[in-house]
A and B are shown apart, each in its own frame.
Chain A
């Protein structure tokens, strides 16, 4: 097995872990190869001494899931009706008032602005095209066609921006609300 094959196989088997963890782990094992090669070992020897790829990946996965299991267990053991956390509530209200809400509104504003620009572009295109068909712009047909194409490309671009924007905006809002709820009930440390 070569270094490349070993690392590739390891990366494939670590897929279930968060991306950041995988990068970290890959860096560490890649460094192990480089140290080994620098001290005169062959790639084959290093692969052999590192041990079975599957076993290595499994022990990483054990280690990664353990803290998650522990925190889940702690959460389950926590008394359920302890009520909201006072500090948490205080933080959520202040944070939302000064940071969360203004940021949320400005993003919403930008997205709505973009959508409005899109609307104007589309109506301009409709206007130009209809002016060609109505025969009121006889002399400018070629330039109007060019203009329409440019405007269409621009509106396609803005349209995709708006769609993507709203998609992530919705996702972000959901995550933000979830986080707020967590802080509200469990405080900042939970």
Chain B
């Protein structure tokens, strides 16, 4: 898939993952890359930016093996943004779907 397409919506995806519960970087990278083909590294700058803007907060939590993990938690601001972005995204994709389906049908009609 086109890289420019992906970049804009990854924030939304990360926020959506965090809505289901707090998580740490490696886990989020895993969840994201299992669905969307992007580099694992992509998730870290996004998390950092979301934290800097106050959409997520962080805390350290001991892990059974290895060093403590940095967990990310969706803040109220993040929840609001997710709600907003999700609605916008749905509206946007619906419009795009309609446009590309309509022209697609148009094309096939022309051929017939």
* Interface residue? B4 (CB, 8 A): no
Query: Can you list, as one digit per residue, whether each of A41-67 has a CB less than 8 Å from chain B (1) or not (0)?
Result: 000001001111001100110111011
* Interface residue? A109 (CB, 8 A): no
CB within 8 A of B25: which of A31, A52, A64?
Answer: A31
Interface SS, B side: helix
CB-defined contacts of A32 to chain B, threshold 8 Å: 25-26, 29, 40-41, 44
* Interface residue? B69 (CB, 8 A): yes
Known: A31-B25, A50-B40, A67-B52. A62 touches B45 (CB 8 A): yes
Interface SS, A side: helix
Task: Give the CA-CA distance A28 to B48 in the complex, in Å.
Answer: 10
Per the CB 8 Å criterion, the residue count for chain B at the interface is: 21
* Interface residue? B66 (CB, 8 A): yes
* Interface residue? B31 (CB, 8 A): no
Identify the A interface with B (CB < 8 A): 24-25, 27-29, 31-32, 34-36, 38, 46, 49-52, 55-56, 59-60, 62-64, 66-67
